[in-house]
Chains A and B, each alone.
Chain A
Amino acid sequence: MTEQKALNLTVTGAKSAPAPAGAPKMKTDGLSIYYGAFRAVAEVSMPVPDRKITAIIGPSGCGKSTLIRSLNRMNDLVSGSHIDGKVTLDGEDLYGPGVDVVDVRRRIGMVFQRPNPFPKSIYDNVAFGPRLYGRVPKAELDDIVERSLSRAALWDEVKDKLKQSGMALSGGQQQRLCIARAIAVEPEVILMDEPCSALDPVATIKIEELMQELKKDYAIVIVTHNMQQAARVSDFTAMMMMRPDRAGEMIELSDTQMIFTKPKDKRTEDYVSGRFG
């Protein structure tokens, strides 16, 4: 963290150069998040490795969602919110001066708790992002839509009804549509804020399988209140807790295996065993 580069626009198709082996894709350093005077998250330092799934677990109200929403500056939308510390992507400070928040969110995609397709056709939902970058030739756009939907394991189910409204799909399909919409702009990181909490078990399994596919290309962060899910899908798990002053802190972060079998922190053990055993 010696030098601070300005986040430059990624102009062409190439993905930014892979980070050197061992260096995480993203990183937070002493990150505190405030809503006005209230500190919601306190001094979290967390690496997000590339091509791995990092799960954030903890009791409700401990700041999991606040934390994940700060990673792509979604919290900027809440007036009065601000941060201390640093969030970096490939070493670039996302909150640094001159950083374009629109570009941050393009590079770090997000899938939300409840599926939120736009009331447009399936095709237009996926094409929404690419179209922001200019007039895309029809053939190329068709290709992007097909690839994104395939990538989101939805293509076979919707290929004959691309003109239908995205809101006419089932909940699980809607969530996969939202994932397709997110990857259509080719982000580098995908954030998932309790992506399955509104879905039934069958749809949940589908999304989890999909995450295993997606992690071959993306760094993924998932917030979940479901510990089985964290254990099933993630490579690393971070445990958050609410401190007496109601700020959330990260009390443990390690291999998912370790967290669920040999947690170092007593509170993690209580939480994991109480809900998991």
Chain B
Amino acid sequence: MASTPSKGLRTARPRQTSSAIGRALQHGDIPYKVIVILASLSVLGLMIGVGVMLWIASGVTRDSGGLGFIAATDWNPVSGVFGALPFIAGTLSTSLIALVVAVPFGLGVAIFLAELCPARLRAPLGFMVELLAAIPSVVYGAWGIFVFIPSVVQPVGNFLMNTFGDSSRGFFIPLFEGPFFGASFLAAGLILAVMILPTITAISRDVLLAVPRAQREGAYGIGSTQWETIWQVVLPYALSGILGAVILGLGRALGETMAVTMVIGNVSQLSTSLLSPGYTMASVIANEWGESRTPAYSSALIEIGLLLFVMSLFLNLLARLLVWSVSRRNPDQRA
């Protein structure tokens, strides 16, 4: 890419160094190139470095427990017992609650923005959804503790507990067994739902807008209503992209730390009830880090971080593949 001044032309310019390398050096292009490549490599190095460093730093735990770490249910740092299952379960259950709530809402908003909303309102409403994503996790957490839990989670949780959570009554569902004090998987899941909704909405909206107009016209042209067109033609066409959006949302839910730490109660226990307090993988790291005085303790927390890294890496890859497949779809692959 070095510029190549033509040798043959005689100009009034100062004489140039004879060798190409000398010339490039003189112009500063070689150093420039080296620096640019170094910067690029540093981005790559970071990605690889994260995995490698966490792998090394969690060596103590891996050597002592191996994969049993993931399945062990006991977490007792004082006696040096480290099992991550309660946290994995907590991460999965809160993320699941978040998805169950955020997917229908997020999709509804995406449909509204892409298909229904007057063109003039589309940009401002889309921006408001973006702002929702811009609110820092720790602010969500504070809002969760002081506002959201008392005014939303408490009534909803109490209702669920009183209706389904009494084992002596007819329709008992262990998911909603008491006692319930507010801080809980439910609280964390609902906050997460608010936090991942912008991700799901923004990407789904873009995917919906990318569905060819001809598909919509085909449906309208034989007398479909707008909803029939959206539900039976546009959504199926965009399905893999929307799935990608949902997975990216899931990725965000898995790694979300501060808001969850502030509303989940921080108790290491394996519970079947969504109304009981608990931990997620991210929140146990954040909350117990300050107390981890022994190498085994830190190493166990770092291994949880490594798991988190692997999970989010995998989900990100999957999601990007899916979103990408909508934009350049091979017609023959569709069933």
Contacts and interface: CB of A to CB of B under 8 A. Distances in A.
The answer to whether A and B interact is: yes
Interface of A: 72, 74, 77, 79, 102-103, 105-107, 109-112, 114, 116-121, 128-129, 132, 165, 167-168, 178, 181-182, 184-185, 187
Contacts of A74: 217, 220-221
9 contacts: A105-B220, A112-B217, A117-B218, A121-B335, A128-B222, A132-B223, A132-B225, A185-B222, A185-B223
Interface of B: 118-119, 212, 214-225, 228, 232-233, 236-237, 331-332, 334-335
Contacts of B222: 105-106, 109-110, 128-129, 132, 181-182, 184-185, 187
A67 to B, nearest CB: 16
Contact of A79 (B119, B214, B217): B119
Given A168-B331, A185-B222, A118 B233 contact: yes
Given A106-B223, A165-B335, 7 more contacts: A74-B217, A116-B218, A119-B236, A128-B232, A129-B223, A132-B225, A167-B334
Task: Kindly list the 7 A-B residue pairs having the minimum CB-CB distance in the complex, ordered from nearest.
Answer: A106-B223, A116-B214, A110-B221, A119-B334, A167-B331, A129-B222, A116-B218
Given A103-B223, A119-B237, A132-B224, A178 B218 contact: yes
Contact of B221 (A105, A114, A120, A167): A105
A107 B222 CA distance: 8
A252 B334 CA distance: 46
A167 B237 CA distance: 12
A152 to B, nearest CB: 13
A112 B224 CA distance: 16
A103 B224 CA distance: 9
Contacts of B228: 132
A33 to B, nearest CB: 17
A118 B218 contact: yes
Contacts, number: 80
B224 A102 contact: yes
B292 to A, nearest CB: 52
A38 B218 CA distance: 26
B332 A116 contact: no
Contacts of B224: 102, 105, 128-129, 132
Given A119-B236, A119-B334, A165-B334, A112 B220 contact: no
Nearest to A167: B331
Contacts of A119: 236-237, 331, 334
Given A112-B217, A118-B215, A168 B223 contact: no
B332 A167 contact: yes
A176 to B, nearest CB: 14
A72 B220 CA distance: 10
Nearest to B332: A168
**A116, A132, A168, A182: residue with the most chain B Cβ atoms closer than 10 Å:** A116
A185 B220 CA distance: 12
Contacts of A79: 118-119
Contacts of B217: 74, 77, 110, 112, 116
Nearest to A121: B335
Nearest to A73: B220
Contacts of A118: 215, 218-219, 233, 236-237
A181 B212 CA distance: 18
Contacts of B233: 118
Nearest to A104: B223
A79 B122 CA distance: 13
Contacts of A120: 236
Most chain A CB neighbours (cut-off 10 Å) among B214, B215, B236: B214
Given A116-B215, A118-B233, A120-B236, A72 B221 contact: yes
B241 to A, nearest CB: 13
A130 to B, nearest CB: 9
Q: Which of B223, B225, B228, B331 has the most CB of A within 10 A?
A: B223
A129 B232 CA distance: 11
Nearest to B331: A167
A112 B223 contact: no
Contacts of B334: 119, 165, 167
Given A114-B214, A116-B212, A128 B219 contact: yes
Contacts of A116: 212, 214-215, 217-218
Nearest to B228: A132
A118 B118 CA distance: 26
A114 B213 CA distance: 11
A59 B236 CA distance: 38
A237 to B, nearest CB: 24
Contacts of B236: 118-120
A34 to B, nearest CB: 17
A18 B290 CA distance: 85
Nearest to B226: A102
Contacts of B232: 128
A119 B223 CA distance: 18
